Amino acid sequence: MSRRTVSFEEIPVSDAHAGPYALTTGPDDALWCTLVHAGRIARLTPGGRLDQFALDSASCGPAVITPGPDGALWFTRSRDGRIGRITVDGKATSFPVPDPGCGPFGLASGPDGALWFTQLHSDRIGRIDTDGRVTEFPLPLTGAFPSALTTGPDDALWFTLNQAHAIGRLGLDGDVTLYPLPAGNAAPVGITCGADGALWFVEIGAGRIGRITTGGRIDEFPLPDPACRPHAIVAGPDGACWFTEWGANRVGSLTPGGRIEEYDLPTPGSEPHGLAFGPDGALYVALETGAIARMTP
């Protein structure tokens, strides 16, 4: 493991109460960010232009955002049980899910041209097509808190079960397989598909990064600080996976070979959450204190 100083530029996008949370790169080559406590979506170009788009409810809790198959951005509304859609020019709509209290959270585009999402409070995975039709798939356990999800190289949906301390796989046919993690306090959150064809995830409870193959083999990589609270993870263009350490105010990277590097963020207590690589190749990190940090390569 190594820790070295790199250059971060912090770009203010909101006040400290709005809560920049999740990031993605849109089809318009801009960064799109959810402001979870303000009910807004922010758009930031690599050149520094910032736009904000208010949603129809300031308390809807926009959480995870991702490009959809239709050229728009889609996002979960965790507090009012809806899935949102916003065009690149800022026109927002939303669609209800059957249980308004289910807590939609994780979101990913599937290989079938639909969006798939987790439901924190109802132990289900949902599927929504671009016309707003929702199908739900119940999980075979209770109180599991399904959190993030991603599409795997096997064209299945892979997701974390935060309170069940497990990783799940959902086939497009609805078949569910669960893989318990070795640590009983793992509490996995973020998950991504790595360049090596495996799924990489963070264990916020155990301070580890995990890797699971499509065949179910699990490896874990302890981080130097077991209390660092890793939160989100994304595959980088360099072949490594990059993650935020919410409890330690750092960004880290892990190569497929197990090499860990960590980078301190300049502002203490900035609460890093989501992260994404921008169209300029830089790493952008959402800071809940009201900024997006750009890491210079």
The model's pLDDT over 224-241, given as tens digits with 9 standing for 90+, comes to 999 999 999 999 999 999
Query: Which stretches of 120-266 are assigned E, i.e. beta strand?
Result: 124-128, 134-138, 146-151, 157-161, 166-170, 176-180, 188-193, 199-203, 208-212, 218-222, 230-235, 241-245, 250-254, 260-264
The pairing of beta strand 2-3 with beta strand 260-264: parallel
Rg (CA), the chain: 18
> What pLDDT is recorded for position 4?
55
- Quick one: what percent of the chain has pLDDT higher than 70? 98
The confidence score (pLDDT) of residue 150 equals: 98
Q: Is 37 annotated as a binding residue?
A: no
- Per-residue pLDDT tens over the stretch 182-229: 988 999 999 999 999 999 999 999 999 999 999 999 999 999 999 999
Residue 5 scores a pLDDT above 90: no
* Domain CATH for 166: 2.130.10.10
Confidence of residue 166 (pLDDT cuts 50, 70, 90): very high
Q: Is 121 annotated as a binding residue?
A: no
Range of the domain at 71: 2-295
Predicted local confidence at residue 210, as pLDDT: 98
87 has pLDDT over 60? yes
Per-residue pLDDT averaged across 153-181, rounded? 98
pLDDT at 296: 83
Q: Is 231 annotated as a binding residue?
A: yes
* pTM for the structure as a whole: 0.96
Active site (catalytic) residues:
273
Give me the number of domains the chain comprises: 1
- Residue 297: the pLDDT is 66
